[in-house]
Amino acid sequence: MLINVPESVVPDALRGMAAAHPELTVDVERRVVLRRDAPVAGKVALVSGGGSGHEPLHGGFVGPGMLDAACPGEIFTSPVPDQMVSAAAAVDSGEGVLFVVKNYTGDVLNFDMAAELAEDEGVRVAKVLVEDDVAVTDSTFTAGRRGTGATLFVEKIAGALAAEGAPLERVEAVARQVAGDSRSFGVALSPCSTPDKGGPTFELPPGELEMGVGIHGEPGRERRAMMTSGEIADAALDAILDDLRPDGPVLALVNGMGSTPLVELYGFCAEVHRVLGERRIPVARTLVGNYVTSLDMAGASVTLCRADEELLRLWDAPVRTPGLRWGA
C-alpha cells in the first residue's frame, strides 16, 4: 500500500486534501473537512461523514452545491460525535443543519448522539438516513438495509436545494424523497485490503463473484462463478427493479468499487443501459466512475433514483467539489 504507517492513513490523507484544495478548510486535528466560506449566511448546511476508504465520499463532496462539511472516521469505522458536533457548529448559519447518515449501526448511533449534543448547543438538526442497498437486510454492521450509492444522490440534490436557500424542512423532505426513491446493488470481483490488516478483509477466490456485496466487503446474497458484464447488469437490475418500480425516468450511477478500470465500467454502463432499455425505463442522466468506493475492491454497483423534473433540475445545478464538479 502507498502509505506511511497504518495509523496515519487518515490524517495523512487530510493533509493531502488541505494541500491540494485551498478552497477547503481541513481541520486535521478535529478531522473535519469544511467549505472555506462556512457558515454561508442564510443557507441550510449539510453535514455527512462515515468511515474512510470510500473516497471521494464524503470529504470529496464538500463544496458549493453539495456538503458544507464532512467527518471522516478511521478506515471503515464511524466518525465520533465530537467531529459531527464540531462540524455542525462550524457550518450552521442559524438556518439549521441536515445530517446525511448512511445506515450502519455505528454511524446511526454517533450521528444521533451528535444531533442531541448540537441541539443542546442551539443548532437545529434534521437527519436523513440512506438505506438503498437492496441486496440484504441486517448484514454485518447494519440493522436494515445498508447505505451506499444513493448517498451521492442525496448529497448532490439536497445540496443544490440548500444552495437555493430552501428552509431546513424542505431540504430534509427532498433528501428523504431521494433516499426513499433510490435503490442499489453491488458486486465484488475481488476483496479489498485495509491498511490495518495489510491484506484482504475477506476471501474471494479469482473467478468468483460476491453478488450483493456491501461497501466494506460485507457478504451479499450469494457467491457465484464469474459472469459476463451483461449477466451482472441483468442480475443487479433484476434485484433493484424487484423493489423499485419507476414509472418515469431515472437517474443512474454506475459506480466502481475502486480498482475496476474505467474502460470496464463504461462497458458495464452499456449493459446497464441495455437492460433499462429492454425494461422501457428511460435514463435521464448517467454518472460513471469511482464515487462510492471500497478501497481497492474490484467490482461495481448500480444505483437508480426515480427522477422527476425538479430532481433533475437540482441534479444539473452547479456543484464545485473535489469529487463532483460541473457548471461552476
C-alpha cell at 11: 490524517
- The active-site residue, picked from 21, 58, 216, 273, is 216
Q: Which of 295, 304, 307, 314 is the binder for a copy of itself (CB under 8 A)?
A: 295
Residues forming beta bridges with residue 193, ordered by sequence position: 200
Q: Which CB sits closer to a copy of itself, 81 or 299?
A: 299
* CA-to-CA separations, 224 to 152, 220, 221, 227, in angstroms, rounded: 28, 11, 10, 8
Burial class (CB in 10 A: 0-12, 13-18, 19+), 145: buried
Looking at beta carbons only, is 144 or 267 nearer to a copy of itself? 267
Nearer to a copy of itself, 122 or 206 (CB): 206
> Is the CB of 103 or the CB of 294 nearer to a copy of itself?
294
Is residue 53 part of the contact set for a copy of itself (CB under 8 A)?
yes
* Nearest to a copy of itself of 143, 270 (CB atom): 270
253-289 burial by CB neighbour count: b if 16+ within 10 A, else e?
bbbbbbbbeeeebeebbebbbebbeeeebebbeebbb
Q: Identity (one letter) of the amino acid at 252?
A: A
Q: Which is nearer to a copy of itself, 55 or 218 (CB)?
A: 55
Structural contact between residues 297 and 289, judged by C-beta atoms closer than 8 angstroms:
no
Establish if 14 lies at the interface with a copy of itself (CB under 8 A): yes
Task: List the grid coordinates of 267.
Answer: 462497458
Indicate the Cα dihedral angle 147, 168, 253, 223, nearest 10°: 10
Q: How far apart are CA 69 and CA 31, in angstroms?
A: 10
Tell me whether residue 21 is one of the annotated catalytic residues: no
Taking CB under 8 A as the criterion, the residue among 25, 93, 140, 259 binding a copy of itself is 259
Per CB under 8 A, which region of 90-98, 132-140, 241-249, 257-265 contacts a copy of itself?
257-265
Q: Which has the closest alpha carbon to 101: 55, 137, 48, 58?
A: 48
Check if the beta carbon of residue 314 is closer than 8 Å to that of residue 157. Answer: yes
CB neighbourhood size of 39 (10 A): 19
- Stretch in the footprint of a copy of itself (CB under 8 A) among 111-119, 131-139, 157-165, 287-295: 287-295
Piece of 88-96, 119-127, 136-144, 283-291 that binds a copy of itself (CB under 8 A): 283-291
Q: DSSP secondary structure string, 173-211?
A: HHHHHHHHTEEEEEEESS--EETTTTEESS---TTEEEE
308 lies in the site for a copy of itself, by CB under 8 A: no
Task: Decide: is 219 part of the binding site for a copy of itself (CB under 8 A).
Answer: no
58 counts as catalytic: no
**Distance in angstroms (rounded) separating the CA atoms of residues 315 and 159:** 9
Question: Binding to a copy of itself by residue 325, rule CB under 8 A?
Answer: yes
Contacts to a copy of itself from residues 160-179, by CB under 8 A: none
Regarding 236 and contact with a copy of itself (CB under 8 A), the answer is no
**Shortest Å distance, C-beta 13 to a copy of itself:** 4
Please identify which residue in 55, 68, 107, 181 interacts with a copy of itself, judged by CB under 8 A. Answer: 55
Residues near a copy of itself (CB under 8 A): 1-5, 8-10, 12-20, 52-53, 55-56, 60, 75, 189, 228-230, 232, 254, 258-271, 273, 283, 286-288, 290, 293, 295-296, 298-300, 320, 322, 325-328
Query: Known catalytic residues?
Result: 54, 216
